[in-house]
Structure 1
Amino acid sequence: MIVGILEDIVTQAGMVEGWLSKAGYDTEVRHDGDSFMELVRSQRVDVLLLDWDVPGKSGIEVMRWARETFADTLPIVMMTQHDGEDDIVFGLNQGADDYLIKPLRERELIARVSAQARKYYPETQRAKTVEIGKFALDIGSQVATVDGKQVALSQREFDLALMLFENVGRIVSKDVMIKRIWGGVDRKYDATLATYVSKLRSSLVLRPKNGLVVSTVYNYGYRLERA
Structure 2
Amino acid sequence: MKVALLEDDLAQAKLLTQWLSEAGYEVFHRDTVSGFKSMLTEQPVDMAVLDWQLPDSSGVDALQWIRSQYETRLPVIFSTQRDSEEDVVAALKAGADDYMIKPPRQAELLARLAAVGRRAGLDRLNSPNLSLAHIEIDQEAQRVLVHGEEVKLTRKDFLLTCCVIKNQGKLLSREYLLKEVWGVNADLNTRTVDMHISRMRRNLQLDPSCGYAIKTVYQHGYRLEKVED
Q: TM-score, normalised by structure 2?
A: 0.53
Report 1:192-211 matches (<5 A): none
Cα deviation code 1:20-57 (max 9, x no counterpart): 01111010110111000111111111111000001123
Secondary structure of the structure 2 residue equivalent to 1:87: helix
Report 1:45-194 matches (<5 A): 45-120=45-120, 121-125=122-126
* Residue identity matched to 1:74: L
In the TM superposition, residue 58 of structure 1 has moved relative to its aligned partner by 1.2
In the TM superposition, residue 71 of structure 1 has moved relative to its aligned partner by 4.7
Contact 1:7/1:54 (CA < 8 Å) preserved in 2? yes
1:17 corresponds in structure 2 to 17
In the TM superposition, residue 122 of structure 1 has moved relative to its aligned partner by 3.1
Q: TM-score, normalised by structure 1?
A: 0.54
RMSD: 1.3
Relative contact order, CA 8 A, sep 6+: which one is greater?
2
Higher Rg: 1
Q: How far apart, CA to CA, are the structure 2 residues paired with 1:82 and 1:71?
A: 29
Return 5+ residue gaps in structure 1 as ranges.
127-227
Identity of aligned residues (%): 40
Return 5+ residue gaps in structure 2 as ranges.
128-229
Q: How far apart, CA to CA, are the structure 1 residues paired with 2:43 and 2:82?
A: 29
Distance 1:30 1:82, change over 3 A: same
In the TM superposition, residue 68 of structure 1 has moved relative to its aligned partner by 1.2
Q: How far apart, CA to CA, are the structure 1 residues paired with 2:41 and 2:50?
A: 16
Q: How far apart, CA to CA, are the structure 2 residues paired with 1:71 and 1:36?
A: 18
